[in-house]
Structure 1
Amino acid sequence: MREIVTLQVGGFANFVGSHFWNFQNELLELAEDPEADPVFKNQDLNMDVFYRYGETYQGTPTYTPRLLSIGLQGSLGSMSSCGTLYNEGSSASSSVMTWNGNVSTQASEPHKKNLFLQSLYAEEQENDIQREITDRDIVQCLENDVQCWTDFSKSHYHPQSLYELSGMWVDAQKFDNYGIGRDSFCGGLHGEEISERLRFFVEECDHIQGFQFIVDDSGGFSPLAVDFLESIADEYTNVPVLLYAARGPGSLMDPLSQKHRISRKLHDAVSFSRLSSLCNLIVPVGLPSLSRSKASNFLCIKDEKPYHCSAAYAATLHSVSMPFRMELLGPSANSSYACGALTVNEAVQMLSGQARQNMVTILDAAMPAPSLTGNQVKQTLLGSLQPLTPEISDHVEDLQSVASMTVHGVLGSGGQRASISEVKDMVHSAYEHAITRPMFCHLSVAQCPLPIPLPFPSIFSNHVGQHGEVLGTPIIGSPSRGSLDVHTIPMAGRLRSSSAVLPFLENRLGDLRKFGFARGGVGAELLRSWGFAKDESEDMAETLSKMILELNPHSQMSSDSD
């Protein structure tokens, strides 16, 4: 068994994670549906990599994500921190009286279940209410009223999975920099409690292959993630960590005041430097405007909605993680449904250990991936992959680059799914005819497309058909289409180590030097208030400088004196 334990830390990370687990839940349901496409019954994917077997207190068998999710108090909305399967109905009130004085109680209004959650509950209870709620009502409700990541989550979770940072009533809008987070978590008991929950999932693994860590590093959760990574490094020395630093577009907007702009730039530099030094591979995820990017050519995304943006990022994370749960086949075996299995450690070694120690990796996506038909097929698939990592160079000839690409559910002639061999031949041919190509590219291919669950947002354009085919003529009606109209999507996702990421690194090193080292400047004082002495700031700059040097030995940025 090659288990993966997933960690989600912070608001936007949990939005991404909620969509991610919805995809997995949909795959599990389709595999058991006798009327579903046979491709979902023959996926050659081992879902036990991400899931665990268990049972409730009443002895009912369960199958839940091997997940630890961390958020602010109140971020679970209407969901109990015990999840929905194991709720014992315990009350927070106590009959033990230890105070005889006056008591003042402040309580917020409970978060009400929306139509989607009401429908889920009614369906499980075989309640007649479920029949009164139509799928169109649910889709409309979610488009207009998602507040928490649990509002659109269809998965059940283990009680050890959901952790709220109790005792911290913090305005999420003000919880926006490294210093605030460091002050909030310093000296608390949260660290040991969180580590104990992680230990619960790790110790029941037969042979853990790695940690999939998604962190919202745009604000105060970054230092918590750093502390968490330090404890992981101490306790699980040989277990690789693949970290996605995910941000919603709202967190990337420039503040109005100069002081806040400096704080934002220093936070970005400090957060990235600290996180990258404690994981095996870090993947920055989140564009300033996903809606205006080339990655949204066939999407209708509203940047102001985390519910929208997180769906596209989660779909890509699903794609690039597929090799980690593909069935390992013997040398003589030949699967018609999936090939190209990798472990997390193999992916990390390939992307960070070839020729240079490059720890920051670019995430690319094609959503939906184009079909293999047409006169320009050799350029279409590779050309359709667009970056979801910010601040990178568009056209870089990097002969030392390394890539791991996953293509699944791609359509061929006649609208039928292309075979594994057809996709492999097309990709290899495309690279052979490309002007520049990576030093090495690992290819994983599967016939199973991305299933679109009911709570998925209406983010597809009217050029996208029912099975994710790109249409020459737009469908008349609404400019956006969702799960009622689009049922599956062919996808391509890619992780690549390339010098194209240099601007991202150079911007952070430049900001740290410019604002953090100026004697008497507001930035230097800010770093001190966050608990960083001058030598610690210099160490962070050195970390960034080394990463730049590995990518470009002649870079002026890496050789500048601190």
Structure 2
Amino acid sequence: MGSREILTLQFGHYSNYVGTHWWNVQEQGFEYDSSSSSEIDHDVLYREGLTEKNEVTFTPRLLFVDLKGSLKSLPESGNLYAPNFNDPSAEWDPDLVTVKTEPVNNKNQFQQDLDSSACKNIHRNAYDFEKDVSVWSDFLYTRFHPRSVNIIREYQHCNENTPFDVFPLGTSLWKSPQFDDDFCNKIRSYVEECDSFQASDLEIGFHMLTDCTNAFAGLSSSCVEHLKDDYDKSALLIFPVMPSYFPDRVTSVEERYQSLANDSVRVLNMALGFSAFSEHASLFVPLSVGSKGWRKPGPKRQFDLVEYDHELPYHSSALLASALETFSLKYRLKSSHFTLTDLCADLNRNGRRAAAASLKLPFSLNGSADLLDCLDKWQGPLTQSITPSCEIGSENLIQYITLRGIKEEQLKQPPHLAQKQLKLPAYKCDSIASMLNMYLAYSTDFSISNVTAVNKPLNVATPYPRIFQAAAGRQANVSTRAVPEFGQENVPVLAGLHNGPPIGDMLESLYTETKRIKFAKFPQFIAGGMESEEYEECLNTLSTLRENYVDDYVI
């Protein structure tokens, strides 16, 4: 058996957007009423600790990395422990010392309310996150341990003069003392305090969320190689994330040329990252609500009863986090001994180390209908892909599906009211999981499906974005507060992880885009120490990986 405890690593600004939503919905979904037992084992992703005042804390087992200037009002010591202010200038003659201070970033109203007693009265109508959020810490609800925060000082967030934009910048940075020593020591500290370290010979698990369109692809690839070398028995599940919008301005011929060059740089970064992940990770799952994802994100994915602005990372990252929070429940439930190691072993068979993800948010039961009627009348795919250039299909799949927020009493009508339902084979099913498994058996060919049903819905309270249509309260069985205008608090969600031939199509499209690029025309990669042989090796790795998804593969 593998480990239950997981250390999460986040590399890059968009990854931290996704991670912020993920930690927010987890923490706001904590159940503090001792009379009700939580289905979720929060110790898998969280750790218990003590402050300097011996106050018990419960914080994410997390290390995140971002550039200087990305934290805004969040202190580099985290926002849980009181910072220890030792002014070094106090030890010197004031006439001989010049003190320079960084500009102070004032907290927005949401962060001010969290710091005050007003946090008990927070509701979404009090804030305009769409206008107020400029970095992920603006809507951060969770409190972090000081060890979690890791800032790259060599590069400034949103600085066009010294961009952190190409793969070799990240690989070079990994060799610096900050990462080769300090960051690796932090990983080791988290690992050594886990019970699994003592009982399972280092068999803990790792989640990694990473930007893959910039130099963070190189930094995270180097980290993956380190984890493989030092913790080779551990499962490593990587989520390369891609924004659904890039603000490249194209108002002139010169800007059009620069935009095309930026596209090529992003493609190269993704290809080099995917190549490294396929060699060293247990499994990697690209995520984006952009349907294409390579040169341009493409049209946004559509979700019933949801209206979101794909140009706002605050919106698009919430959708990705909702999927992460849902399908990861498979190995985070108290009732199960299933682990991250088990999941990766099932999904990466025959060298298929890339997989796809899907999301149905919200999972609509169409008013007062039950699950049996809902599935019996379902038209089209059950879920929406959130992996770029990949339509999941319905054949030759290995898939893990999680449905949350549907109660057992919503399964079917009782016998005296069932009427036509009694004639359906699915009426014999006595649980949410067994009924959904039967549906998948009928709707997918030559596939293996594993279904997990969780009673607890997804918490979408503030600061989750207001993206649900008004009809969602009725059609999606969304519970609301006593005051309707406060909006949805919880929604049912269906999400999944899938492996099969369509992932080969995704890899084929990335390989084709990468092969078109003339590597010699991008000197910034060469200046960073990368040689053309590494580019060719990347192409060969992608080609080999895609061959593992040929259609004649039989489960």
Aligned to 1:455, which of 463, 471, 480? 463
Q: Quote the Cα distance in structure 1 between the aligned partners of 2:528 and 2:512.
A: 19
Spell out the pairing of 1:46-445 with structure 2 (5 A cutoff).
Answer: 46-91=41-86, 93-97=88-92, 105=100, 107-123=101-117, 135-138=123-126, 140-169=127-156, 171=158, 174-182=163-171, 187-207=176-196, 208-251=203-246, 256-257=256-257, 258-288=260-290, 293-328=300-335, 342-353=338-349, 356-371=350-365, 372-373=370-371, 375=373, 377-378=375-376, 380=378, 383-393=381-391, 395=393, 398-399=395-396, 401-410=397-406, 421-434=430-443, 436-445=444-453
Bigger CA drift: 530-539 or 144-153? Answer: 530-539
CA contact (8 A) 1:298 1:464 kept: yes
Q: Quote the Cα distance in structure 2 between the aligned partners of 1:483 and 1:323.
A: 33
Spell out the pairing of 1:507-518 with structure 2 (5 A cutoff).
Answer: 507-516=509-518
Q: Quote the Cα distance in structure 2 between the aligned partners of 1:508 and 1:150.
A: 32
Q: Quote the Cα distance in structure 2 between the aligned partners of 1:467 and 1:42.
A: 28
1:85 is displaced (CA, Å) by: 2.4
CA contact (8 A) 1:246 1:284 kept: yes
CA contact (8 A) 1:456 1:482 kept: no
1:414 is displaced (CA, Å) by: 6.5
1:432 is displaced (CA, Å) by: 3.1
CA contact (8 A) 1:6 1:212 kept: yes
1:252 is displaced (CA, Å) by: 9.0
Aligned to 1:498, which of 493, 497, 500? 500
1:427 is displaced (CA, Å) by: 1.3
Identity %: 23
Structure 2 residue aligned with 1:551:
549
CA contact (8 A) 1:409 1:417 kept: no
Shift of the 143–294 alpha-carbon distance from structure 1 to 2, 3 Å rule, reads closer
Deviations 1:326-364 (A, max 9, x none): 1245xxxxxxxxxxx5200100000002xx210111000
SS in 1 for 2:156: coil
SS in 2 for 1:166: strand
Shift of the 470–21 alpha-carbon distance from structure 1 to 2, 3 Å rule, reads closer
Shift of the 44–374 alpha-carbon distance from structure 1 to 2, 3 Å rule, reads closer
Deviations 1:256-312 (A, max 9, x none): 324333323222222221233221100000132699545422211111211111111
TM-score, length of structure 2 as denominator length: 0.83
SS in 1 for 2:239: strand
CA contact (8 A) 1:191 1:227 kept: no
Shift of the 522–342 alpha-carbon distance from structure 1 to 2, 3 Å rule, reads same
Letter in 2 for 1:403: Q
1:63 is displaced (CA, Å) by: 1.1
1:440 is displaced (CA, Å) by: 1.2
CA contact (8 A) 2:383 2:494 kept: yes
TM-score, length of structure 1 as denominator length: 0.82
CA contact (8 A) 2:215 2:269 kept: no
1:163 is displaced (CA, Å) by: 1.1
Spell out the pairing of 1:29-40 with structure 2 (5 A cutoff).
Answer: 31-33=31-33
CA contact (8 A) 1:455 1:483 kept: no
Structure 2 residue aligned with 1:531:
529
Q: Quote the Cα distance in structure 1 between the aligned partners of 2:372 and 2:185.
A: 54
Letter in 1 for 2:179: H
CA contact (8 A) 2:124 2:463 kept: no
Bigger CA drift: 409-418 or 535-544? Answer: 409-418
Q: Quote the Cα distance in structure 2 between the aligned partners of 1:373 and 1:554.
A: 35
1:32 is displaced (CA, Å) by: 1.4
SS in 1 for 2:472: coil
CA contact (8 A) 1:370 1:380 kept: no
SS in 2 for 1:551: coil
Shift of the 253–462 alpha-carbon distance from structure 1 to 2, 3 Å rule, reads farther
Letter in 2 for 1:233: K
**Does 1:27 find its partner at 2:29?**
yes
1:416 is displaced (CA, Å) by: 10
CA contact (8 A) 1:73 1:165 kept: yes
Q: Quote the Cα distance in structure 1 between the aligned partners of 2:342 and 2:139.
A: 34
1:9 is displaced (CA, Å) by: 1.0
Q: Quote the Cα distance in structure 2 between the aligned partners of 1:84 and 1:421.
A: 47
1:181 is displaced (CA, Å) by: 3.6
Q: Where does the alignment leave 5 or more consecutive residues of structure 2 unmatched?
A: 197-202, 251-255, 292-296, 415-426
Q: Quote the Cα distance in structure 2 between the aligned partners of 1:416 and 1:464.
A: 21
Q: Quote the Cα distance in structure 1 between the aligned partners of 2:86 and 2:242.
A: 35
Aligned to 2:486, which of 478, 484, 487? 484
Letter in 2 for 1:552: V
Q: Quote the Cα distance in structure 2 between the aligned partners of 1:394 and 1:202.
A: 35
